[in-house]
Structure 1
Protein backbone atom coordinates (compact mmCIF):
# COMPACT_ATOMS: atom_id res chain seq x y z
CA UNK A 1 0.00 0.00 0.00
CA UNK A 2 1.50 3.27 -1.12
CA UNK A 3 0.31 6.27 0.90
CA UNK A 4 0.46 8.63 -2.06
CA UNK A 5 -2.29 6.57 -3.71
CA UNK A 6 -4.56 6.90 -0.67
CA UNK A 7 -3.88 10.57 0.07
CA UNK A 8 -4.08 12.39 -3.26
CA UNK A 9 -3.16 16.12 -3.31
CA UNK A 10 -6.85 17.06 -3.55
CA UNK A 11 -7.45 15.04 -0.36
CA UNK A 12 -4.81 16.89 1.66
CA UNK A 13 -5.79 20.03 3.55
CA UNK A 14 -3.36 22.29 5.33
CA UNK A 15 -4.58 25.07 7.59
CA UNK A 16 -7.41 23.10 9.16
CA UNK A 17 -9.91 25.43 10.81
CA UNK A 18 -11.49 22.93 13.21
CA UNK A 19 -11.08 23.41 16.94
CA UNK A 20 -12.44 20.06 18.11
CA UNK A 21 -12.96 16.49 16.95
CA UNK A 22 -16.57 16.94 15.84
CA UNK A 23 -15.74 19.95 13.66
CA UNK A 24 -12.71 18.11 12.34
CA UNK A 25 -14.73 15.12 11.13
CA UNK A 26 -17.10 17.45 9.28
CA UNK A 27 -14.22 19.42 7.73
CA UNK A 28 -12.37 16.29 6.58
CA UNK A 29 -15.51 14.65 5.18
CA UNK A 30 -16.18 17.83 3.18
CA UNK A 31 -12.63 17.63 1.80
CA UNK A 32 -13.31 14.01 0.88
CA UNK A 33 -16.50 14.91 -0.97
CA UNK A 34 -14.73 17.62 -2.99
CA UNK A 35 -11.57 15.64 -3.67
CA UNK A 36 -13.30 12.67 -5.19
CA UNK A 37 -15.97 14.71 -6.98
CA UNK A 38 -18.56 12.77 -5.05
CA UNK A 39 -21.87 12.36 -6.78
CA UNK A 40 -25.10 12.39 -4.81
CA UNK A 41 -25.98 10.63 -2.69
CA UNK A 42 -22.65 11.14 -0.92
CA UNK A 43 -22.88 9.38 2.48
CA UNK A 44 -21.65 12.41 4.45
CA UNK A 45 -23.60 11.80 7.65
CA UNK A 46 -23.02 8.05 7.45
CA UNK A 47 -19.25 8.68 7.37
CA UNK A 48 -19.37 11.14 10.28
CA UNK A 49 -21.49 8.68 12.29
CA UNK A 50 -19.08 5.80 11.54
CA UNK A 51 -16.09 7.88 12.66
CA UNK A 52 -17.92 8.97 15.81
CA UNK A 53 -18.89 5.38 16.68
CA UNK A 54 -15.30 4.23 16.18
CA UNK A 55 -14.04 7.10 18.30
CA UNK A 56 -16.46 6.21 21.13
CA UNK A 57 -14.63 2.89 21.54
CA UNK A 58 -11.25 4.55 22.05
CA UNK A 59 -9.63 7.76 20.88
CA UNK A 60 -7.66 7.49 17.66
CA UNK A 61 -5.59 10.46 18.81
CA UNK A 62 -2.63 8.22 19.45
CA UNK A 63 0.08 10.60 20.69
CA UNK A 64 2.71 13.08 19.54
CA UNK A 65 0.08 15.33 17.95
CA UNK A 66 -1.18 12.64 15.55
CA UNK A 67 -4.63 11.14 15.04
CA UNK A 68 -5.72 8.25 12.82
CA UNK A 69 -9.52 8.35 12.65
CA UNK A 70 -10.71 5.39 10.61
CA UNK A 71 -13.89 3.49 9.89
CA UNK A 72 -15.60 1.16 7.47
CA UNK A 73 -18.55 2.71 5.68
CA UNK A 74 -21.31 1.13 3.60
CA UNK A 75 -21.60 2.86 0.23
CA UNK A 76 -17.91 3.53 -0.37
CA UNK A 77 -16.49 1.91 -3.48
CA UNK A 78 -12.85 1.79 -2.41
CA UNK A 79 -10.35 2.85 0.24
CA UNK A 80 -10.34 6.63 0.69
CA UNK A 81 -8.14 8.89 2.75
CA UNK A 82 -7.86 12.53 3.76
CA UNK A 83 -4.80 14.09 5.37
CA UNK A 84 -5.41 17.17 7.49
CA UNK A 85 -2.74 19.46 8.93
CA UNK A 86 -3.40 22.05 11.65
CA UNK A 87 -0.89 24.69 12.67
CA UNK A 88 -2.80 25.65 15.84
CA UNK A 89 -3.70 22.18 17.11
CA UNK A 90 -7.09 20.53 17.60
CA UNK A 91 -8.69 19.48 20.87
CA UNK A 92 -9.07 15.81 19.97
CA UNK A 93 -9.22 14.09 23.35
CA UNK A 94 -6.01 12.29 22.40
CA UNK A 95 -4.67 9.48 24.56
CA UNK A 96 -1.75 11.64 25.71
CA UNK A 97 -3.99 14.67 26.37
CA UNK A 98 -2.19 16.88 23.85
CA UNK A 99 -3.65 18.68 20.83
CA UNK A 100 -3.50 17.04 17.42
CA UNK A 101 -1.71 18.64 14.46
CA UNK A 102 -1.58 15.81 11.91
CA UNK A 103 -4.70 13.80 11.04
CA UNK A 104 -4.87 10.79 8.72
CA UNK A 105 -8.54 9.92 8.10
CA UNK A 106 -9.02 6.51 6.50
CA UNK A 107 -12.31 5.07 5.25
CA UNK A 108 -13.01 1.80 3.52
CA UNK A 109 -15.92 -0.32 2.39
CA UNK A 110 -16.78 -3.16 4.80
CA UNK A 111 -15.58 -5.80 2.34
CA UNK A 112 -12.04 -4.39 2.08
CA UNK A 113 -10.57 -4.99 5.53
CA UNK A 114 -7.23 -6.08 4.08
CA UNK A 115 -6.55 -2.75 2.34
CA UNK A 116 -7.77 -0.88 5.41
CA UNK A 117 -5.35 -2.72 7.72
CA UNK A 118 -2.46 -2.42 5.27
CA UNK A 119 -2.98 1.35 5.00
CA UNK A 120 -3.05 1.64 8.80
CA UNK A 121 0.25 -0.28 8.94
CA UNK A 122 1.82 2.09 6.41
CA UNK A 123 0.63 5.11 8.39
CA UNK A 124 2.08 3.57 11.56
CA UNK A 125 5.43 3.23 9.78
CA UNK A 126 5.34 6.90 8.85
CA UNK A 127 4.43 7.92 12.39
CA UNK A 128 7.32 5.85 13.73
CA UNK A 129 9.63 8.19 11.80
CA UNK A 130 9.48 11.34 13.97
CA UNK A 131 11.52 13.36 11.46
CA UNK A 132 9.12 12.60 8.61
CA UNK A 133 6.01 13.12 10.76
CA UNK A 134 7.39 16.48 11.91
CA UNK A 135 8.14 17.58 8.37
CA UNK A 136 4.67 16.52 7.28
CA UNK A 137 3.02 18.43 10.15
CA UNK A 138 4.98 21.54 9.11
CA UNK A 139 3.82 21.35 5.47
CA UNK A 140 2.50 24.67 4.22
CA UNK A 141 0.63 23.27 1.22
CA UNK A 142 -1.01 20.11 -0.03
CA UNK A 143 1.61 19.78 -2.76
CA UNK A 144 4.41 19.96 -0.17
CA UNK A 145 2.70 17.32 1.98
CA UNK A 146 2.12 15.10 -1.05
CA UNK A 147 5.79 15.39 -2.05
CA UNK A 148 6.75 14.22 1.45
CA UNK A 149 4.39 11.23 1.17
CA UNK A 150 6.05 10.34 -2.14
CA UNK A 151 9.47 10.69 -0.51
CA UNK A 152 8.41 8.44 2.36
CA UNK A 153 6.95 5.85 -0.01
CA UNK A 154 10.15 5.84 -2.09
CA UNK A 155 12.52 5.56 0.85
CA UNK A 156 10.45 3.07 2.81
CA UNK A 157 9.77 0.73 -0.11
CA UNK A 158 13.26 0.71 -1.60
Structure 2
Protein backbone atom coordinates (compact mmCIF):
# COMPACT_ATOMS: atom_id res chain seq x y z
CA UNK A 1 0.00 0.00 0.00
CA UNK A 2 1.18 3.51 -0.83
CA UNK A 3 1.76 6.14 1.87
CA UNK A 4 -0.62 8.54 0.14
CA UNK A 5 -3.35 5.89 0.35
CA UNK A 6 -2.73 5.36 4.06
CA UNK A 7 -3.13 9.05 4.87
CA UNK A 8 -6.33 11.04 4.87
CA UNK A 9 -6.55 14.79 5.41
CA UNK A 10 -7.96 14.14 8.92
CA UNK A 11 -4.75 12.28 9.78
CA UNK A 12 -2.37 15.08 8.76
CA UNK A 13 -1.51 17.95 11.11
CA UNK A 14 0.43 21.09 10.30
CA UNK A 15 1.58 22.66 13.56
CA UNK A 16 1.71 20.98 16.96
CA UNK A 17 0.46 22.42 20.24
CA UNK A 18 3.07 20.61 22.34
CA UNK A 19 6.82 21.01 22.40
CA UNK A 20 7.93 17.82 24.16
CA UNK A 21 8.35 14.34 22.68
CA UNK A 22 5.49 12.78 24.68
CA UNK A 23 3.17 15.68 23.73
CA UNK A 24 3.97 15.21 20.04
CA UNK A 25 3.38 11.47 20.18
CA UNK A 26 0.12 12.01 22.04
CA UNK A 27 -1.06 14.53 19.44
CA UNK A 28 -0.16 12.10 16.65
CA UNK A 29 -2.10 9.29 18.36
CA UNK A 30 -5.12 11.59 18.74
CA UNK A 31 -4.78 12.42 15.06
CA UNK A 32 -4.52 8.75 14.06
CA UNK A 33 -7.53 7.98 16.25
CA UNK A 34 -9.71 10.09 13.93
CA UNK A 35 -9.68 7.00 11.71
CA UNK A 36 -11.62 5.18 14.43
CA UNK A 37 -9.21 2.26 14.24
CA UNK A 38 -7.41 2.59 17.60
CA UNK A 39 -9.12 0.51 20.26
CA UNK A 40 -7.06 1.81 23.20
CA UNK A 41 -5.25 5.15 22.86
CA UNK A 42 -3.51 4.77 26.23
CA UNK A 43 -2.08 1.39 25.20
CA UNK A 44 -0.97 2.87 21.87
CA UNK A 45 0.79 5.72 23.71
CA UNK A 46 2.47 3.26 26.12
CA UNK A 47 3.67 1.11 23.21
CA UNK A 48 5.16 4.07 21.30
CA UNK A 49 6.79 5.52 24.42
CA UNK A 50 8.27 2.10 25.30
CA UNK A 51 9.73 1.94 21.77
CA UNK A 52 11.17 5.46 22.22
CA UNK A 53 12.81 4.42 25.49
CA UNK A 54 14.69 1.64 23.64
CA UNK A 55 16.00 4.11 21.06
CA UNK A 56 14.74 7.41 19.74
CA UNK A 57 12.94 7.28 16.42
CA UNK A 58 14.25 10.76 15.63
CA UNK A 59 16.33 10.13 12.54
CA UNK A 60 18.32 12.69 10.57
CA UNK A 61 17.35 15.51 8.22
CA UNK A 62 14.36 16.50 10.39
CA UNK A 63 12.56 13.15 10.16
CA UNK A 64 11.03 11.21 13.06
CA UNK A 65 9.08 7.99 12.75
CA UNK A 66 7.59 7.11 16.13
CA UNK A 67 6.15 3.63 15.74
CA UNK A 68 5.16 0.54 17.66
CA UNK A 69 3.60 -2.86 17.38
CA UNK A 70 0.50 -2.88 19.55
CA UNK A 71 -2.69 -4.84 20.17
CA UNK A 72 -4.55 -1.51 20.24
CA UNK A 73 -4.94 -1.73 16.44
CA UNK A 74 -6.04 -4.55 14.15
CA UNK A 75 -4.50 -3.01 11.04
CA UNK A 76 -1.75 -0.47 10.36
CA UNK A 77 -2.71 3.06 11.33
CA UNK A 78 -0.73 6.11 10.25
CA UNK A 79 -0.68 9.83 11.01
CA UNK A 80 1.63 12.59 9.85
CA UNK A 81 2.52 15.82 11.61
CA UNK A 82 4.58 18.76 10.41
CA UNK A 83 6.39 21.28 12.61
CA UNK A 84 7.71 24.21 10.62
CA UNK A 85 10.03 25.29 13.48
CA UNK A 86 11.17 21.81 14.46
CA UNK A 87 10.98 19.99 17.79
CA UNK A 88 13.71 18.28 19.80
CA UNK A 89 13.05 14.57 19.29
CA UNK A 90 16.50 13.31 20.35
CA UNK A 91 17.42 12.81 16.71
CA UNK A 92 20.59 10.95 15.73
CA UNK A 93 21.98 14.09 14.07
CA UNK A 94 21.00 16.33 17.02
CA UNK A 95 18.81 18.50 14.76
CA UNK A 96 15.15 19.29 15.48
CA UNK A 97 12.56 17.08 13.79
CA UNK A 98 10.02 18.68 11.47
CA UNK A 99 8.32 15.72 9.78
CA UNK A 100 6.71 13.09 12.01
CA UNK A 101 5.25 9.86 10.66
CA UNK A 102 3.40 7.82 13.31
CA UNK A 103 2.90 4.13 12.55
CA UNK A 104 0.92 1.75 14.75
CA UNK A 105 0.83 -1.87 13.63
CA UNK A 106 -0.53 -5.12 15.00
CA UNK A 107 2.01 -7.88 15.62
CA UNK A 108 0.61 -9.73 12.59
CA UNK A 109 1.51 -6.92 10.17
CA UNK A 110 5.29 -7.03 10.52
CA UNK A 111 6.02 -7.33 6.79
CA UNK A 112 3.64 -4.53 5.78
CA UNK A 113 5.01 -2.35 8.57
CA UNK A 114 8.60 -2.81 7.36
CA UNK A 115 7.52 -1.99 3.80
CA UNK A 116 5.88 1.26 4.96
CA UNK A 117 8.98 2.21 6.95
CA UNK A 118 11.06 1.61 3.82
CA UNK A 119 8.69 3.78 1.74
CA UNK A 120 8.97 6.58 4.29
CA UNK A 121 12.77 6.31 4.22
CA UNK A 122 12.78 6.42 0.42
CA UNK A 123 10.54 9.48 -0.03
CA UNK A 124 12.13 11.43 2.83
CA UNK A 125 15.66 10.85 1.48
CA UNK A 126 15.12 13.75 -0.94
CA UNK A 127 16.01 17.21 0.39
CA UNK A 128 13.54 18.72 -2.09
CA UNK A 129 10.73 16.50 -0.75
CA UNK A 130 11.53 17.46 2.85
CA UNK A 131 11.56 21.15 1.98
CA UNK A 132 8.29 20.97 0.05
CA UNK A 133 6.44 19.03 2.74
CA UNK A 134 7.55 21.37 5.54
CA UNK A 135 6.43 24.34 3.42
CA UNK A 136 2.99 22.84 2.70
CA UNK A 137 0.02 24.90 3.84
CA UNK A 138 -2.67 22.22 4.01
CA UNK A 139 -3.12 18.49 4.65
CA UNK A 140 -4.31 18.08 1.05
CA UNK A 141 -1.07 19.63 -0.22
CA UNK A 142 0.98 17.33 2.04
CA UNK A 143 -0.76 14.24 0.67
CA UNK A 144 -0.31 15.50 -2.90
CA UNK A 145 3.43 16.01 -2.33
CA UNK A 146 3.73 12.48 -0.94
CA UNK A 147 1.71 11.03 -3.82
CA UNK A 148 3.96 12.73 -6.38
CA UNK A 149 7.08 11.43 -4.62
CA UNK A 150 5.97 7.80 -4.56
TM-score by length of 1: 0.90
Q: 8 Å contact 2:79–2:102 — kept in the other structure? A: yes
SS in 1 for 2:59: strand
Q: What is the aligned partner in structure 2 of residue 6 from structure 1? A: 6
Encode CA deviations 1:6-46: one digit per residue, 9 max, x unaligned. Answer: 22221111112220111001111111112x1358xx31111
SS in structure 2 at match of 1:112 = helix
Q: How many residues align?
A: 150
Q: CA deviation at 1:118?
A: 0.2
Q: Tell me the equivalent position of 2:50.
A: 53
1:140 alignment counterpart:
137
Q: Which residue of the partner structure matches residue 131 of structure 1? A: 128
TM-score, length-normalised on structure 2?
Answer: 0.94
- Unaligned 5+ runs, structure 2: none
Shift of 1:148: 0.7
Counterpart of 1:44? 41
Deviations 1:54-98 (A, max 9, x none): 111111100111101111110312111100001121121111111
Point out the more displaced range, 109-118 or 74-83: 74-83
* Structure 1 gap ranges (5+): 154-158
Please name the residue that 1:79 is paired with. Answer: 76
